[in-house]
Amino acid sequence: MKVDIQSLGAFNRLTHEGAEQATASMCRMTGLDAVVDVTKISLVDRADVGEQLAGGEFVGVGFDFEGELAGETALVFDRESSETIAEALVPGSAADEAMARSSVEEIGNIMMSGFIDGWADFLGATIEHSPPEYVEGSGRDVLPAPSGEAATVEGPDAFEGIEHGDAAGSGEGASAAGGSLDQVFVFRSEIEWVGESVHFYIYMLPEYGPLADVMSNQASAADGAIPVDKLGVFNEMTSDGTQRAADNVEMMTGIETEAEVTQLSFAPIEDVPKQVGTDIYVGTVVEFTGVPSGYLMVLFDEVSAVHIAEAMMPVEMDSDELTDQHKHAIEELGNIVTSGFVDGWANVLQTPVEHTPPRLVHDMGRAIVDPLAAQVGRHQDHAFLIDSEMRTDDIAFGAEIQVLPDEKELRQALDELLVERADRTEADVERVFE
């Protein structure tokens, strides 16, 4: 299967418009004011679907749908906002559990019918959906397990064991077994309740087979179509890069560090800064050149930045504030993490990828990303985003790695990517220096 950028763009727009239509329905019914904040299409490890919901309690509705496109979709609210919505629909219902549940089912039904109908209209086909099923749960458990076969087809030896259609409804453990590739497409819209720090989410988890057919039909035979197996392999290379980054952090700080979610997403340029949010971050930005070129950010929240820098210092600083020494340590860490990331691509693609020295940034997430997105946006309307996270249990520390590559060059890199070389991310120094 191949996807081209235009059809990914069209799918993203359609998902966004469907979410807007669903949100408008809710606003009309409740009088609440909400807007669709971000819509993106991600290729993600099956076990990581819904990772963004971690830590929250959610209720909502889920549907199966089938026809030209098949799969599962869900609309989920955090539990507290669902009570407000129920109250807005039927005053007094929030205290009545059965009524509150019925309200969520009904509003979910109306919102999601519009969402699915939009897809059917776009495809000029009928898509049937099941009655809404009330769902509740913690974090990603509230979402249906994505069913159907995985997105990738062939890989090098290290990635053998790729799942093929045997994971229906039981995908959670599939990718963990033997480190095999098991990635699925996720269409996700995040809806913001205006004036409140509350978000709710629409997830669509299409089955691979019907989605592949739709994408193939939409993709022109034209240039620039990307084989999806290469996208999947590239995603796995990025996962390796994140693991290398986590290993480097662990070596420099002595703090056991895990690579967490890695996903390759596709979103309109104007939505890119929204991915990072409005929290204050400390980190580094580098520009890399080669194929592909782009920007790479290593971002820590302020508390994590102090903790991680302290751990790197040979002497204890014991400061809650970021000092110049902390900043120098963060700069160097950013440099090493960046190299760990792009070197893997360079070694697999057998081409040098240069990067500038790291530039220290300390600002609101969106303010950091805005000028970079504007720069990339001079040549493209949509962007691929590579988003990785590292976490540790030892101290409060988390980091995000965001990569914003040039779309055409990424496409060229993927075109030149030899899948059988995809596990050769590390160079052998001793052999080179023999």
Partner 1 sequence: MPDVLIADDSDFMRNLLREILEEDHNIVGEVENGVEAVETYKEEEPDLVMMDIVMPIRDGIEATDEIKTASPDANVIMCTSVGQEKKMKEAVKAGADGYITKPFQKPSVMEAIADVVPS
The residues that touch partner 1, with contacts defined as CB under 8 A, are 248, 251-252, 312, 314, 325, 328-329, 331-332, 335-336, 338-340, 342-343, 346-347, 350-357, 426-429, 432-433
- Least distance to partner 1 from the beta carbon of 300, Å? 15
Nearer to partner 1, 85 or 333 (CB): 333
Nearer to partner 1, 184 or 336 (CB): 336
- Least distance to partner 1 from the beta carbon of 310, Å? 13
Q: For residue 414, what are its two tokens?
A: 């993927």
Report which of 58, 20, 54, 57 is spatially closest to residue 37, judged by C-alpha positions: 20
Report which of 183, 70, 59 is spatially closest to residue 123, judged by C-alpha positions: 70
Residues in Cβ contact with 53 at an 8 Å cutoff, skipping those fewer than 6 apart:
76, 139, 140, 142, 143, 201
* Single-letter code of the amino acid located at 317: M
- Least distance to partner 1 from the beta carbon of 360, Å? 11
- Least distance to partner 1 from the beta carbon of 205, Å? 36
Q: Which residues of 248-270 are buried (b: 16+ CB within 10 A; e: fewer)?
A: bbbebbebebebbbbbbbbbbbe
Nearer to partner 1, 95 or 427 (CB): 427
Placement of tokens 């991680």 in the chain: 308
- Least distance to partner 1 from the beta carbon of 378, Å? 25
Placement of tokens 């030899």 in the chain: 418
Nearer to partner 1, 263 or 425 (CB): 425
Q: How many residues does the chain have?
A: 434
- Least distance to partner 1 from the beta carbon of 60, Å? 44
**What is the Cβ-side half-sphere exposure of residue 10, based on CA atoms within 13 angstroms?**
15
Distance CA 136, CA 235 (A): 31
Peptide bond into 156 cis (omega under 30): no
* Single-letter code of the amino acid located at 372: L
Q: Where are the alpha helices (DSSP H) in 254-286?
A: none
Q: Which residues of 408-430 are buried (b: 16+ CB within 10 A; e: fewer)?
A: ebbbebbeebebeebbbbeeeee
Nearer to partner 1, 235 or 338 (CB): 338
Nearer to partner 1, 216 or 289 (CB): 289
Q: What is the dihedral of CA 38, 42, 45, 46, to 10 degrees?
A: 80
Nearer to partner 1, 237 or 276 (CB): 237
Nearer to partner 1, 124 or 314 (CB): 314
- Least distance to partner 1 from the beta carbon of 328, Å? 4
Nearer to partner 1, 33 or 354 (CB): 354
- Least distance to partner 1 from the beta carbon of 335, Å? 5
Nearer to partner 1, 98 or 429 (CB): 429
- Least distance to partner 1 from the beta carbon of 70, Å? 43
- Least distance to partner 1 from the beta carbon of 350, Å? 7
Distance CA 283, CA 88 (A): 42
At 127 the three-state DSSP class reads: strand
Burial tier of 316 (Cβ tally within 10 Å: 0-12, 13-18, 19+) = exposed
